[in-house]
Structure 1
Amino acid sequence: MRWIMLCVCGFGLVACDMVPQWAGGDRPATTVAQPVDDAGSGSETDGDTPLDDDTELEASEPELSTGTLGRTVASLGNAAEPGLWLKTPLVSAEQAGRVYYPDTNRTVDVTLIPIDGPDTAGSRLSLAAMQALGAPLTGLPEVDVFAG
């Protein structure tokens, strides 16, 4: 009986590291250390990787928006998706921002998430953000969006 309990406990500990993301198992990505060539012999692969050339890294980073981004019509986004976020075509990269609802004079800090579409297209606001703003869940409130 002891062996069975040890096996069950062992499998339970192994399974703790396999929690799916939807159940709160969002774990930070692990990195593997790359060996460093201390001899400085200059192998053939020097400079061929994107991490070796800073200009390639800078070119691949999206530009973050700043200041007032504009006014958008916000509908209720996926209610099962937690957090304070606004999916909007007003940004080209995920970043921190604020949303202001003039009807209730409330502001909430959100994560701005880019979506495809013209700047005049509508946006999707999280359930928690709609509630924090005091906006009607079944309506289409107009909100002002700010970056930063």
Structure 2
Amino acid sequence: MTKPILRLPGALMLLALAACTPADKTPQTAPGATTASDQRAASAAGTALVTAAARPSPAARTAAEFDTTTREQRVAAAAPPTTGERRLGTTIASLGDPSQPGFWIKTPLAKSETDGRIVNPANGKSAKVRLIPLDGPASGGSQVSLPALQLIGVSLTDLPTIEVYGS
């Protein structure tokens, strides 16, 4: 019978080898590029706020590798509001799925998918985002895309209180 401590090096070696094996061999779009289906989805939504950013590579490990938005998309998202907005409330924000591209927030403050804006009251920075309903009480937290958090100057490990506005 093998002692449990002797099994540890073998298990670690298997884990190391598994980490070296690519999990997905599908062709990847270059960061910042858009696919035809992304462009159709953005066009179907009828808004420039739904970015056509590419999905990050499965090999992405850093925030820069996960953020596939273009400079133009970041400038458009940071632009001041051009129409009237109404304040939906405040929410505790956390980083959402970094593999989902674009500027979005999943929040219980939204009743339907629509355009909106999030504001970091600590520094006044804001980002135009797609508001996506999230089940739960209005006092529940929200998930925010990586590019949106970066645009409003929030550390990816913080849990800031942000303001949410809808169109």
Q: 1:122 aligns with which of 120, 123, 141?
A: 141
Give the letter aligned to residue 86 of structure 1. Answer: I
Secondary structure at the residue paired with 1:96? strand
Deviation at 1:129, TM superposition (A): 0.2
The equivalent of 1:70 in structure 2 is: 89
Question: Gapped runs of 5+ residues in structure 2?
Answer: 1-25, 30-34, 42-84
Aligned-residue RMSD, C-alpha: 2.0
Could you tell me the TM-score, scaled by structure 1's length?
Answer: 0.57
SS at match of 2:151: helix
Partner of 1:63: none
2:151 to 107, 128, 132: 132
Structure with the bigger RCO (C-alpha within 8 Å, sep 6+) is 1
Partner Cα distance (2:128, 2:40) in 1 = 23
The separation in 2 between residues aligned to 1:91 and 1:105, in whole angstroms, is 21
Structure number, greater radius of gyration: 1
State the shift of 1:105 in Å.
1.3
Structure 2 CA distance for aligned equivalents of residues 107 and 28 of structure 1: 27
Q: Do structure 1's residue 141 and structure 2's residue 141 form an aligned pair?
A: no
- Determine the C-alpha separation between the residues in 2 that align with 1:28 and 1:98: 23
1:89 aligned residue: 108
User: Where has structure 1 moved over 2 Å in runs of 4 or more?
Assistant: 22-25
Matching residue's letter, 1:136:
S
Structure 1 residue 100 and structure 2 residue 119: aligned? yes
Q: Within 1, Cα distance between the matches of 2:140 and 2:151?
A: 23
By how many angstroms is 1:91 displaced?
1.0
Aligned-pair identity in percent equals: 41
> What is the number of equivalent residue pairs in this alignment?
92
Task: Tell me, in whole angstroms, the C-alpha distance in 2 between the residues paired with 1:67 and 1:104.
Answer: 20
Cα deviation 1:19-45 (Å, max 9, x = unaligned): x9x86341749xxxxxxxxxxxxxxxx
Q: CA deviation at 1:111?
A: 0.5
Aligned residue for 1:129, secondary structure, equals helix
- Structure 1 unaligned spans of 5+: 1-19, 30-65
Q: Which amino acid in 1 is paired with 2:86? A: G
